[in-house]
Structure 1
């Protein structure tokens, strides 16, 4: 691919000014909490006591500077592609012949989603694995997310992001690579293969590759009990949880004002989904994802004022509902207990060569909740491709 943009790749270090840290702490301490609604539970929002506790922990206990220092041990860079600043981590394995893999996050996550994967994937021998499974990792921040801000233009649909990822990999010298992702990453990763099938050796996603169209009763009845349950949960999601998508896809600027002015609002907006999309459902999200990770991720959104721009990119896709073409690239999917991917509904638009259902564990955030299972599946898939 060619581009007329500046192709310089610039080393990047995170350095949040002390004044911004103090401003965040002051805003958190002066949060104006509403009176609890009747019931005060997850059905109406984030329970008051739980939100109070995390806001206090964010202001008093969480050490951003220590987390920032940890992040700055990971090689990070920026470059301009299609007029947009793109931030990315690039961690090369010490194994020269390692397989290049591009990891794409989703919403309300960030490149921080993959912190637990970096060591095992780039240096498997030090983590009880095989040298032959080593990978070079490229972990970009989606346009409008994190340090890939501010947005320079409109129109960041999956195809444009996918083309940007191909350009990024080309600039790094990776002309044959695999892609992996969940949430938005599970939509963008197959699109990278459609944009440049000659460059992508394989696609692996956690979660759904597509969502079923209207189905007749006969087709539903022919499904396995597992797929019938997944189809029912898709319907329940559209009925009970679709509100945030409606807001973010139609008025991202409005929600962006609230999320950029109130760190407590930013945290609550994300906590709602961290609770709804993690398992076990009765376990609080910070006990699953880690309190430091949740607060670091919220801090990243806050410091980059990306609540609105991430909403704009994440759920303002012009291609929602469109039927994609099949790239022909070998594709693998792993479905954890929370996931709703249905193989029969994804096979026409993807060349599925590997499909794994894990029915008893795992939520939406596989890289954080079940990193070992996700790593094992990715390794096995790449081994199969090498054969």
Structure 2
């Protein structure tokens, strides 16, 4: 139980003089809400501080003397100096050692702190000094062992955001597992500590657990947002499978982030749900896009006003129907269009491409014959070559899709090559 306010005045000081009250207030300002004061020592003398550079300083001289509070988390010095009250905290994680040296007439308590030197004074409560030294030593041992494990956990947590941002999810999961292992080590060490120290150490461990969960949530949400922006670019270049795969990864990130937010009570859940809704809308647009483009291209092909434009438009239509048929194959994303219906439509489109290429070849061959009759050999050869190219492409499609008569087209191609050779 934490000792605060009036309890501190009566328990620590046993008197209610203004100076003592101010010292208690100064002490209270250094305590956390649930922090418990377990021991206290007072002295009418001063505090000696021997720094790491070997220089020695004296602190004190005021009527209130000196107060050392020993809590479940740290040591707190309150010193009444001629210029006012001063305080100094020594967390157990910073405590190197503490000793009580007792002589015949006096006892000296020495507190050695990593990086700060040694603080020493003569407590009025000589019989309690060794208890304080033993308690603080146990506290230092417990806190340093637990905090070491928690610091290791934080080291791994600090890498998770980078790994997730870079898409290195296996590395991120390994870092999470390492952090969880460190947290389990911390819990074991907390169980080995004195009961007095377990509550604050558990609070410290819980904060790191929360940090791990929050880091995962935020990292996955931010990565999902990054991937969501990518999905606005990929579909425009026909990379539907890449876009679909990105959507699936984005959804996985958002759903995992939302699960953590709900489970751990983070306030980000509504924002994540909004992002998921946006993702669903974009996914619906992606799923309909290949077939929509194919149908629009088909309308343009059917209204083309020249053989050249018709060939280009029907080839575009063929490309879009191929993409509509192949989009999402083997993936957990269903694109618009029933497979069998798309295959039938694709065969029909191929037949139209073959027809239009043959029509264009007819016109080019007719023009080539006219140039030949007029004695324009070069122009005739160019037009025969153009006609042959159209027939060759039509023959490849007819062979691949069984649309049109591939043998007839092959024979016609031979005829055109003979004309080119003449």
Give the TM-score normalised by the residue count of structure 2.
0.18
Q: Which has the higher contact order (CA 8 A, sep 6+)?
A: 1
TM-score of the superposition, structure 1-length normalised? 0.20
Please say which structure displays the higher CA radius of gyration. Answer: 2
